[in-house]
Amino acid sequence: MIRYISTRGASPPLGFFDVVLTGLAPDGGLYVPETLPRFSASEIAEFGTLDYVTLAQRILAPFVGGELSEAQLRQMLEETYASFRHTAIAPLVQVGHHQFILELFHGATLAFKDFALQFLGRLLDHILRQRGERATVIGATSGDTGSAAIAACAGRDALRLFILHPHGRVSEVQRRQMTTVADANVHNLAVQGTFDDCQDIVKTLFGDAAFRESERLVAVNSINWARICAQVVYYFYAACALGAPHRRVSFSVPTGNFGDIYAGYIAKRLGLPVERLVIATNRNDILTRCLNTGAYAMESVSPSLSPSMDIQISSNFERLLFDLHGRNGKGLAAAMQRFRAEKRLALEPDALQTLRQEFSAQAVDDAQTLSTIAEVYAQTGYLADPHTAVGLAAAFAHAEPGIPMITLATAHPAKFPEAVERATGVRPALPPHMRDLFEKKERYEVVENNAEIIKAYIAQT
């Protein structure tokens, strides 16, 4: 059975359910599995014959560690992926020689976050009901996490949700997907600040032990291990469809908080033959700079056409740093403390070398994002959303002969119609089930960028 340990080495190990409920470890670290299972080449060859839900069950079972029965896990996964509107769940589309797009936007809110959050919502509900408890979900969103979390948790009795988004910095479709949900357990807070401010407030609230316990706070952002492991599945699904384990593939991943691409790294550690993981960032390029220079150095955030990636501190990067530091939690705790104080962390030469062996990185600015959308549309008729286009631009820059490159399409183009229209002249339509989004009534509070005020608001609600 897998136990989970903190990246900062000073919290006791936990089982799966406790990790799902706990989010950030008490020592400020993130939970990671103490050991990872490894799937053999013959198991992976068999994975290629499985449908999405069955594959998810095979991959998730060791992480769940018997805390759900086989039948319970199966049912939860069936319900999760029944909400998707494509029979392949995660279909592949070819857009060039050895260039593929993995469409991850067929879930409830049209972004890849539904893959993990629809599962996490059901999982939280199950755990809390089993324990006879209720909890408060608090999350920061740059747009897509919030709507996916709300779609996953709205109306569930065991949960109430407070979702913080940066006021005026999410797209209108994103905002409306959050603010038009009428369930009484959903509360939207528009914070007068950036996404990083929202994330900092959430961290502050979780850091207040008394508040955390009195409100029974639960995190649904990508630091929650359940999200990471649910995302591992589609890396296997896509790679197996293109011939894994007999053929290696590479992935290009539009990256913000480093959750999605970290799941690809875990897939590789579980035995999937992955040649290269390409970190695709927009102009907010801390990760690309880190790979190029060896310094993980924070700068201010500037808004881009791919707002879900307008992030400077990539929370999940700490999980990778843990491995790069030889899984030395005490050492990493000291390094993260320095980073917090100095906004800068220099990687040791061998850590940087390992990072470069596993990953490539590419920063793509808005002009390139638009030209990539235009180029792919002109050549293939495919409409890519701006996040996906960042991934595609990086995929084209890092193509290697003979290795299929799979770009993760993280959002549906209709979620970001302005950019797509600017690039192609075509305004992508929302899918039929969402056509009434602009007629529904919105509900949200604009709040100051201040953790104490938000704490008081939650306590009173």
Catalytic residue IDs: 113
> Cis peptide before 245, with omega less than 30 degrees from 0?
yes
Alpha helices in 33-164 (DSSP H): 41-47, 52-64, 70-82, 113-131, 144-153
CB atoms inside a 10 Å sphere around CB 382:
17
Structure tokens that stand for 253 in this block: 């991943």
- Contact status: 372 vs ligand PLP (CB under 6 A): no
- Contact status: 111 vs ligand PLP (CB under 6 A): yes
Structure tokens that stand for 94 in this block: 């070819």
- Whichever of 61 and 92 has its CB closer to ligand PLP, that residue is 92
- Contact status: 325 vs ligand PLP (CB under 6 A): no
- Contact status: 283 vs ligand PLP (CB under 6 A): no
292-321 footprint of ligand PLP as x/- string (CB under 6 A)? ----------------xx------------
Q: Taking the complex as a whole, how short is the minimal distance between the CB of residue 49 and ligand PLP, in angstroms?
A: 29
Q: Taking the complex as a whole, how short is the minimal distance between the CB of residue 414 and ligand PLP, in angstroms?
A: 12
Q: Taking the complex as a whole, how short is the minimal distance between the CB of residue 144 and ligand PLP, in angstroms?
A: 3
Running DSSP on this structure, what letter comes out for residue 107?
A: S
Q: Which of 80, 177, 222, 424 binds ligand PLP (CB under 6 A)?
A: 222
Q: Taking the complex as a whole, how short is the minimal distance between the CB of residue 323 and ligand PLP, in angstroms?
A: 17
Name every residue whose Cβ is closer than 8 Å to that of residue 290 and which is 6 or more positions away in sequence.
Answer: 296, 297, 347, 355, 361
Q: Taking the complex as a whole, how short is the minimal distance between the CB of residue 391 and ligand PLP, in angstroms?
A: 8
Name every residue whose Cβ is closer than 8 Å to that of residue 427 and which is 6 or more positions away in sequence.
Answer: 417, 420, 421
Q: Which stretch binds ligand PLP (CB under 6 A): 150-158, 161-169, 252-260, 345-353?
A: 252-260
By the 10 Å C-beta count (0-12 exposed, 13-18 middle, 19+ buried), 341 is classed as: exposed
> Which residue shows structure tokens 């993280």?
410
Running DSSP on this structure, what letter comes out for residue 191?
A: E
- Closest by alpha carbon to 366, among 305, 453, 290? 305
- Whichever of 245 and 256 has its CB closer to ligand PLP, that residue is 256
Q: Which stretch binds ligand PLP (CB under 6 A): 211-219, 253-261, 288-296, 443-451?
A: 253-261
- Whichever of 170 and 405 has its CB closer to ligand PLP, that residue is 170
- Whichever of 177 and 222 has its CB closer to ligand PLP, that residue is 222
Q: Which of 103, 114, 125, 144 binds ligand PLP (CB under 6 A)?
A: 144
Q: Which of 84, 225, 236, 258 binds ligand PLP (CB under 6 A)?
A: 258
- Whichever of 22 and 109 has its CB closer to ligand PLP, that residue is 109
Alpha helices in 162-218 (DSSP H): 172-179, 195-207, 209-215
By the 10 Å C-beta count (0-12 exposed, 13-18 middle, 19+ buried), 402 is classed as: exposed
- Contact status: 118 vs ligand PLP (CB under 6 A): no
- Contact status: 411 vs ligand PLP (CB under 6 A): yes
- Contact status: 256 vs ligand PLP (CB under 6 A): yes
* CA–CA separation, 168 and 186 (whole Å): 19
Type of residue numbered 370? L
- Contact status: 260 vs ligand PLP (CB under 6 A): yes
Structure tokens that stand for 45 in this block: 């060859």
Question: Could you list the residues that contact ligand PLP (CB under 6 A)?
Answer: 111, 113, 144, 222, 254-260, 308-309, 387, 410-411
